[in-house]
Amino acid sequence: MIKILIVDDEKPICDLIHIHLSAAGYHCESVQDGLSAIDRIERENFDLILLDIMLPGADGFDIMEYIRPLQIPVIFITAKNDVRDKVRGLKLGAEDYLVKPFDMVELAARIEVVLRRFHKTESVLQAGDVTVDLEARKVTRAGQPVVLTNKEYGLLVLFIQNKNVALFKEKLYEKVWEDEYIADSRTLELHVQRLRRKMGWENNLVAVYKVGYRLEI
């Protein structure tokens, strides 16, 4: 299982990220200050670190100097949106830089990209009796192959990666169709209905009022 360290001095943010990424199948740990982060990194192996900049004890840039020789991928998550800070973070070796407040779906997508770049991403997703082999782009349900369109497949992967998390219609549409969501369009709804039938998720893929959909597993 992919192991992620969250370093942020705001515990509610750590908890929110922890809940979301754990539901997506990652093992997460969190600390709220720089010295604790360094101590944890010394004692344990992590596949990825989410790192705030403004931290007590040692700031994110100081920690980045310590992490760099260890070759652990880092994504900065910070309220500092100055271009100079972003450039400094990337020059220190960070793989990405995400400014707060950010969408959890976007964070998950960026994590997936970084892990894939480092060949650490898990190639198989599981949700109940549904299995998705990302490398082979193959979907099975109870061991039987399921044929999906490209859009259905894109939605399926998003839902499984964000199990038990409500996803906004706008975000689903932007990620899968790569276009702006049109409120009166039924395209997304129809694709979700077909996905429910094919996956046997009539009671699992639920509509969330005024938000979108949530896969309950």
Taking residues 32-44, report their average pLDDT.
92
Classify domain 124-215 at the CATH class level. mainly alpha
Q: What are phi and psi of 147, to 5 degrees?
A: -95, 125
Residue 15 has pLDDT above 80, yes or no: yes
- pLDDT of the residue at 23: 80
Give Cα separations from 165 to 44, 46, 68, 85 (angstroms).
28, 24, 33, 31
- What's the order of all strands across the beta sheet hosting 212-215? 167-168, 212-215, 205-208
**Tens-place pLDDT, residues 86-107:** 898 888 889 999 998 888 888 9
**Tens-place pLDDT, residues 49-74:** 999 999 998 999 999 988 888 889 99
What topology is assigned to 3-117 in CATH?
Answer: Rossmann fold (3.40.50)
**Tens-place pLDDT, residues 120-148:** 666 788 899 999 988 789 999 999 999 99
**Tens-place pLDDT, residues 178-202:** 887 777 778 999 999 999 999 999 9
Domain boundaries, the chain: 3-117, 124-215
Can you give the pTM of this predicted structure? 0.62
Taking residues 37-44, report their average pLDDT.
91
Query: Strand 138-141 and strand 130-133: pairing?
Result: antiparallel
Taking residues 81-87, report their average pLDDT.
87
**Tens-place pLDDT, residues 157-170:** 989 988 888 888 98
- pLDDT of the residue at 183: 75
- pLDDT of the residue at 202: 95
- pLDDT of the residue at 144: 94
